[in-house]
Structure 1
Amino acid sequence: MISFTIEEINTILQGELKGNINQKITGLDELKNAKSDQITFVRSVKYARLWEMSNACVAIVNDNLDIEPGPDRAFIMVKNADIAMSKLLDIFRLKDPVFDVDVHPTAVIHESAVMGAGSKIGAGCYIGKNVVLGDGIVLYPNVTVFDDSIIGAGTVIWSGTVIRERTEIGTDCIFHNNVSIGADGFGYIPSEDGRGLIKIPHIGNVIIGNGVEIGANSCVDRGKFSSTVLGDGCKIDNLVQIGHNCILGRFCIMAGSSGLAGSVILGDGVVIGGSASIKDHVTIHSGATVAAGSGVMNDVPAGKTVLGYPACDSREMLKQWVTLRKLAK
């Protein structure tokens, strides 16, 4: 078990120490669950009142809060407790699974595939024809990468993920378990006799930028004609659907169970809340936010926050809700 003194942690966080303890710190947890040898964090007045009831010996605290640690306890004062806690979590996190061999003997790798230096391929992986893997890539057991795909250096792909043919993935990406990249888009038209549906072929691909993270069981469909694109730094939660020919700018965030229908465009820094749904061919401009559970039917201007179903300006929607409550009374 790893442990640190409070001075060592303060050195890492570059904070200001308030109070002191001799207790070694062996882990971290939230205020209500932390044990006496653990560190916690206080980021707002809302949580400051819970400090007295916590068993933690140390807390990381936003420096704009006027609270005292109390006897035999200490604070590390920082500008942003969330960022400081993130740094600390990285130090305490468990190590990733270890590979006994760089390429497991049960992996199937086509003779034309190119594998960069230091890459690791787990048991049961399949690497198709003309695939190019950059340096330091990690494919955990049972990952499939189909023909003509390119994956940039430092990317980590967890078990069960399937990368379909002709996908292009940038550097330092993370794909969690059972991600699907490049499957057919959802497209059908009625048959001429009106008795069935005709499948529309999708002959495009998926292009993913650098530093993209995609959560477990999320899907990114390939384009009908050209490419579905995710820009640098996008962060996609679990169980997210991104339809064919969508284009995401840089550093977009999509929370769990949200979805984009086909040909949606997101500008830079767009935030999509959990379970929100975006209609096809809609553009959400840079810096806009779609609140959780909303249904977006029309374009959203830059910087705007929309809410509701159908979604409209969040302030307008809140007024509507207040009016409805008054009517109900």
Structure 2
Amino acid sequence: MISYTIQEINDLLKGELIGNTTNNIEGPEQLQNAKNQHITFIGSSKYIKYWAESEASAVLVNDNLTVEPGDNRAVIKVKNADLAMAKVLELFNPPAPEFETDIHPTAVIHETAKIGDGCKIGANCYVGKDVELGNGVILYPNVCVFDETTIGDNTIAWSGTVIRERCLIGSHCIFHTNVSIGADGFGYRPSDDGRGLTKIPQIGNVIIGHYVEIGANSCVDRAKFSSTIIGDGCKIDNLVQIAHNSVMGRSCIMAGHSGLAGSVTLGDGVIIGGSASIKDHTTIESGATVGAGSGVMNNVKAGETVLGYPAQDAKAMLKQWVVMRRLAKK
């Protein structure tokens, strides 16, 4: 069992230690569930009231909050309790699943594929013709990487992930279970005889930058032509849809069940809330935020926050909701 003294944890965080505890810390836990071997955190004043009832031996708090340690308990004041807790979580992070052999004998690897140093390829993986894997790439069991795809150093693909042909993947990316990269974009037009639908060929690819993380069961479709692009540092939640020819700038965030229709453009640092939908050929400029459940029909300016369905300026929408609530009470 890994454990640390409160002094060792504070040395890592470089916070202000108030009080002390002789209990070793064996892991982090939520305030109300914590026991005396745990450390917890408080990032908002509304949670301070739970500290007195908690059994935790230590707590991380934002430095603008006042929290008394109590008997055999310690408080560590830090600038940002959430970020400090992330460092604590790293201390107790269990190791990833181990590979008994670097390349499992059931993996199918085309003779033209180039495999970098230190790669690990699990059972029943498929690596196609002219694929290039950089150094330290990890493919967990049942991952497929199709022809002419390139994957950069230290990228990880968890089981069930499928990366289609001709995609370009950066380094230090993480694709969680069942991610789909490079499936055909959704393109159909009524047939000439008006009796069916004609499929539009999708001949482009997907380009993903460095340090991108994509959650389980999310899809990034290939472009009709040219590329669907995910910029460096983007973080994409579970069950997210990114349609053909969309372009995301750097360090964008998309929460679960949100989606981009075709040819959407996001600037840098855009935040898309859960279940939000973005209409095709829409541009959301850098630093903008789209509230959860919103439907964006028009372009969004840099730094703007929009909300609602159809989405509009968040303050204006909130005022409308207040008026509607008042009318409903009459």
TM-score normalized with structure 1 length: 0.99
Q: Which moved more, 1:18-27 or 1:242-251?
A: 18-27
Alignment correspondent of 1:114: 114
Alignment correspondent of 2:293: 293
**Moved >2 Å (runs of 4+):** none
Alignment correspondent of 1:8: 8
Structure 1, residues 21-54: CA drift from partner, whole Å, max 9, x if none? 1101111111011111100001111111110111
Q: What one-letter code is carried by the residue in structure 2 that aligns with 1:84?
A: A
Structure 1, residues 146-201: CA drift from partner, whole Å, max 9, x if none? 00000000101100000000000000000000000000000100011111000111
Q: Residues 1-329 of structure 1: matches in 2 within 5 Å? A: 1-329=1-329
Mapped to 2, the partners of 1:228 and 1:91 lie a distance apart of: 37
Mapped to 1, the partners of 2:46 and 2:156 lie a distance apart of: 37
TM-score normalized with structure 2 length: 0.99
Structure 1, residues 125-160: CA drift from partner, whole Å, max 9, x if none? 000000000000000000000000000001011000
SS of the residue corresponding to residue 65 of structure 1 reads coil
Q: Which moved more, 1:265-274 or 1:319-328?
A: 319-328
Residue 63 of structure 1: CA displacement? 1.1
Which structure 2 segments of 5+ residues have no match?
none
Mapped to 2, the partners of 1:20 and 1:90 lie a distance apart of: 22
Residue 88 of structure 1: CA displacement? 0.7
SS of the residue corresponding to residue 67 of structure 1 reads coil
Residue 15 of structure 1: CA displacement? 1.0
Instruction: Give RMSD over aligned pairs.
Output: 0.5
Residue 85 of structure 1: CA displacement? 0.1
SS of the residue corresponding to residue 41 of structure 1 reads strand
Mapped to 2, the partners of 1:317 and 1:29 lie a distance apart of: 37
Which structure 1 segments of 5+ residues have no match?
none
SS of the residue corresponding to residue 322 of structure 2 reads helix
Mapped to 2, the partners of 1:303 and 1:66 lie a distance apart of: 33
Structure 1, residues 78-109: CA drift from partner, whole Å, max 9, x if none? 11110000011111011100001100000000
Residue 324 of structure 1: CA displacement? 0.6
**Equivalent residues of 2:213, 2:233 under 8 A apart:** yes
Q: Which moved more, 1:43-52 or 1:230-239?
A: 43-52
Residue 286 of structure 1: CA displacement? 0.2
Q: What one-letter code is carried by the residue in structure 2 that aligns with 1:277?
A: S
Q: What one-letter code is carried by the residue in structure 2 that aligns with 1:133?
A: L
Residue 67 of structure 1: CA displacement? 1.9
Mapped to 1, the partners of 2:67 and 2:39 lie a distance apart of: 16
SS of the residue corresponding to residue 11 of structure 2 reads helix
**Equivalent residues of 2:229, 2:245 under 8 A apart:** yes
Q: What one-letter code is carried by the residue in structure 2 that aligns with 1:105?
A: P
Q: What one-letter code is carried by the residue in structure 2 that aligns with 1:231?
A: G
**Equivalent residues of 2:67, 2:75 under 8 A apart:** no
Q: What one-letter code is carried by the residue in structure 2 that aligns with 1:115?
A: I
Percent identity over the alignment is: 68
Length, aligned pairs only:
329
